[in-house]
Chain A
Amino acid sequence: MSITYLEAIREAQTRALQENPDVFIYGQDIAGFGGAFKATKHLARDFPGRVLDSPISEDAMMGFAIGAAIEGMRPIVEMQFADFSSIAFNQIINQAATHYWRTGIPCPLVVRLPSGGTAGSGPFHSQSMESLYAHYPGLIVLTPATVGDAYWMLLEAIEINDPVIFCEHKFLYYHLKAGALPTVEERLPIGKARITRHGKHASVVTYSAMVHEALRAADELARLGYEIEVVDLRSIKPLDTDTVLASVARTGRLLVVGEAFPYGGVTAEVIARVTAEGFHLLDAPPKRLNARDTPIPYHPNLWAAHRPTAATITEALRELLGF
């Protein structure tokens, strides 16, 4: 028996609907059709009236969820693709994110963003939006990289009394499998980064699908005798600076990898924190690797050269190790 990353997301939603009568799901094509990626397959059948198709109105979808949340419901909004959350940007950053601060009334909701690139998806179905949302106070931004995290972090997100941006990676939906879900005792709480692979020569700090590219790069370099530590941030906001600093303290070298565009963003944030708080720990200038600073290309050949991969991460690590 095995479970995919996508199935874990569906299982988490099933459990939340079962256990909490305040949970409902709202999004495009999610009811009878089960969602563009089938993350809500059969949920409308199993939970009548609680999995609702929305019009193609991302702004109103978010406003609707916010209104329900401030009345005490626990809405989950499925954006069909993370890219389309740009239409809901205003409601997310100005309404949901400011609500508790302004009024003292919590706004507990989860926005599920099918994020990141897949071959052939092009500029408008491939984006990684986590840095944009992390910029705004009042939001929690999560980027699960594993099947177990997809499950437990989504369940925990639904319990959080604040708006949560849940960035699930489309590339992992079908390809990433686990034998079984971790038990509740094995789960790592939101806000803690995970040392996915221990090493002593350099740290790769990354998140989401790039964790798996970094692990492949670490495998490659292991053949040359290098032990690369891979840190999975899991949560972009809050960001577990302590675990990152501890890793850099062990290795002295830092590469930060993200699939999002390079300007600003998570990779810049991590490097800013490490250089400000752990400059003395560094034996080499910290490096970062992002997607290229162009829109995301459609053709698989171009796309493969646009985002970081195991090969480009390996190359960046070689430079870092050679400093």
Chain B
Amino acid sequence: MTSAPVALPGLPDGITAGRFLEGFHFMLLARTLEDKIAALYHSGKITGGVYLGRGQEAFSAALAVCLRQGHDIFAPLIRDQAGRMAFGEDILDTARTYLGSVKGPMKGRDGNIHRGRPDKGMPAMISHLGAMISVVCGMLKARQFRGISDTVGATCIGDGGTSTGAFHEALNLAAVEKLPLVVAIANNQFAYSTATDRQYACKDLVDRAIGYGAEGYSVDGTDLAACLAVFDKAVTRARTGHGPQMVVGNLLRLCGHGAHDDGSYIPETIKSTPLGQDCLKLARQKMIDHRWATHSELEAMEAAAAEAVQQAVAQAQRDPAPDPAAETWQPLASRWLLETDHPTT
């Protein structure tokens, strides 16, 4: 593939074609995987929910490629398959968790998008929106207690999640502690079926940043290059002691809330606006226009992504399901405090 110098036409300062390609790679991998996961859901192979990041891959991947794996913290939410992969999550973790393999990180105890590996800097989200932000704050504080001052903690949320008390409390706390936190708000226009005019009444969600004492940015969430530039800046600012950063990505969810939802309430009029553009197609076209990759190179990437997904899904489908008889049924790390010897417990 073409190697490219800094400051190419079509790219903001400081964003290399290599980094654009890296972002695109994870967008493509995520889309390919999620298309497969959705197909498995519709054919009855997946129990429970399936939540897709279609249309949000650029925003999600751009954040994670700006982070340092093994050093930073990334707390994804339900539409961050691309960011998860860019932060190093194994494709098998996704396949195994969705398909109920006992070998997955959650061992069948939790499913779908609730997976994580907290020991690798990726906490496992709970469903209650806004709840992960303060957890990331605490992880950052722990690093500081240990004398590590250059860890950045990033987390993602949607427009709906900004309405929670947890979001407000955590943003305020992060600013009070001046923590190196980056909050990515994917303003995808719908919280499940509720449009933004029933979610918030401020002119722009980014206006909330100043109220918390955070630095705020607004970006076209369909534009990978713009997302890379804004997250590069926000992560750098956080890392260099400028406190919490809030990035609002304006985009459209190109699917329903979950695979169970056809999203028929999303009007055609919004789909045809710039918000409704497919970030993956835009990024692909940009690479061709600027000759960062040829058609055949891109087709090879797509084939490789399909192969990787196929292998992971096949492996997960061969894995054993959790066995109730082998499950420990022990919710405590302190085994001696478990009550196991009474029939009423």
Looking at the complex, which one of A60, A67, A90, A103 makes contact with B139 (CB distance below 8 Å)? A67
Contact A57 B173 (CB under 8 A): yes
Q: A137 and B331 in contact (CB under 8 A), knowing A62-B134, A103-B116?
A: yes
CA distance A22 to B105 in the complex (A): 27
A161 within 8 A of B: yes
Could you tell me the distance in whole angstroms from the C-beta of B172 to the nearest C-beta in chain A? 6
Q: Which residue of A lies closest to B173 (CB)?
A: A60
Could you tell me the distance in whole angstroms from the C-beta of A178 to the nearest C-beta in chain B? 26
Mark each residue of chain A from 33 to 70: 1 if its CB lies under 8 Å from any CB of chain B, else 0: 00000000000000000000011011111111111111
Contact A67 B173 (CB under 8 A): no
CA distance A75 to B127 in the complex (A): 24
Of the A-B pairs whose beta carbons lie under 8 Å apart in the complex, a sample of 9, sorted by A's number, is A58-B169, A59-B165, A60-B170, A63-B132, A64-B134, A66-B138, A68-B142, A73-B145, A273-B345
Contact B342 A273 (CB under 8 A): yes
Contact A162 B334 (CB under 8 A): yes
Cβ–Cβ < 8 Å partners of B166 in chain A: 59-60, 63, 90-91
- On B, residues with C-beta under 8 Å from A are 105-106, 109-110, 114, 116-119, 123-124, 126-128, 131-143, 145, 165-166, 169-170, 172-173, 176, 330-334, 336-339, 342-345
Q: Which residue of B lies closest to A240 (CB)?
A: B339
Looking at the complex, which one of A62, A67, A138, A276 makes contact with B331 (CB distance below 8 Å)? A138
Could you tell me the distance in whole angstroms from the C-beta of A140 to the nearest C-beta in chain B? 6
Looking at the complex, which one of A55, A69, A190, A272 makes contact with B173 (CB distance below 8 Å)? A55
Q: Most B CB atoms within 10 A — which of A55, A65, A68?
A: A68
Could you tell me the distance in whole angstroms from the C-beta of A243 to the nearest C-beta in chain B? 12
Contact B114 A90 (CB under 8 A): no
CA distance A95 to B136 in the complex (A): 13
Q: A71 and B126 in contact (CB under 8 A), knowing A55-B176, A138-B332?
A: no
CA distance A59 to B143 in the complex (A): 21
Looking at the complex, which one of B136, B331, B342 makes contact with A97 (CB distance below 8 Å)? B331
Chain A stretch 90-149: residues in CB contact (< 8 A) with chain B: 90-91, 94-95, 97-103, 105-106, 108, 137-138, 140
A152 within 8 A of B: no
CA distance A138 to B110 in the complex (A): 15
Chain A stretch 256-305: residues in CB contact (< 8 A) with chain B: 272-273, 276-277
Q: Most A CB atoms within 10 A — which of B117, B131, B140?
A: B131
* Count of inter-chain pairs, beta carbons less than 8 A: 155
- On A, residues with C-beta under 8 Å from B are 22, 24, 54-55, 57-73, 75, 87, 90-91, 94-95, 97-103, 105-106, 108, 137-138, 140, 160-162, 190-191, 237-239, 241, 272-273, 276-277
Contact B128 A90 (CB under 8 A): yes
Q: Which residue of A lies closest to B139 (CB)?
A: A67
Looking at the complex, which one of A22, A61, A71, A276 makes contact with B344 (CB distance below 8 Å)? A276
By Cβ-Cβ distance, the 10 closest A-B pairs, closest first, are A67-B138, A63-B134, A71-B142, A60-B169, A57-B169, A64-B138, A161-B333, A67-B135, A60-B134, A67-B139
Contact A71 B131 (CB under 8 A): no
Q: A95 and B131 in contact (CB under 8 A), knowing A69-B138, A160-B337?
A: yes
Cβ–Cβ < 8 Å partners of B118 in chain A: 70, 99, 103, 105
Contact A103 B105 (CB under 8 A): yes
Contact A95 B139 (CB under 8 A): no
CA distance A237 to B331 in the complex (A): 13
Looking at the complex, which one of B110, B131, B343 makes contact with A91 (CB distance below 8 Å)? B131
Cβ–Cβ < 8 Å partners of A90 in chain B: 128, 131, 166
Contact B106 A103 (CB under 8 A): yes
Apart from A59-B170, A106-B333, A241-B339: 5 A-B pairs, beta carbons within 8 A: A63-B132, A69-B138, A87-B165, A91-B166, A137-B331
Could you tell me the distance in whole angstroms from the C-beta of A165 to the nearest C-beta in chain B? 13
Could you tell me the distance in whole angstroms from the C-beta of A285 to the nearest C-beta in chain B? 18
Looking at the complex, which one of A24, A58, A237, A276 makes contact with B343 (CB distance below 8 Å)? A276
CA distance A90 to B132 in the complex (A): 11
